[in-house]
Amino acid sequence: MENNQKKAAYEAEITYGTGTEFGFDYLRDNLINFEGEKVQRELHFAIVDEIDSILIDEARTPLIIANKSNEGADLFHITSQIVREFKEEDDYELHSDRKQII
């Protein structure tokens, strides 16, 4: 996609893409010369489908992001607190024999 098409997609209420696409767009946005060249906007939340693919499969080929920040560190603690409140059968199903959680 051209930058103007990407910018329009990111301005939509819902933007669909892969973790790699979002990551490289983030990387490019942090390497721009002028603020108006950015394609992504401030994001408030994300819905991630097939998180196991992103955390496990894609972790084998890491995406290097410029300008490291500590924003993700807070998310780890917040997510950890939320997950501790989950109740089996209400929030998830555990299949020990298949080593699977749904």
Give the model's pLDDT for residue 8.
92
Q: Which residues pair with 100 in a beta bridge?
A: 95
Q: Residues 6 or more apart from 1 whose CB is under 8 A from it? A: 9
68 or 46, greater pLDDT: 46
Mean pLDDT of the chain: 79
Q: Where are the alpha helices (DSSP H) in the chain?
A: 3-11, 19-29, 51-52, 71-84
What pLDDT score does 39 carry?
92
Name the E strands within 26-96. Answer: 94-95
pTM: 0.48
Catalogue all structural domains in the chain, each as residue range(s) with its CATH number: 3-101 (3.40.50.300)
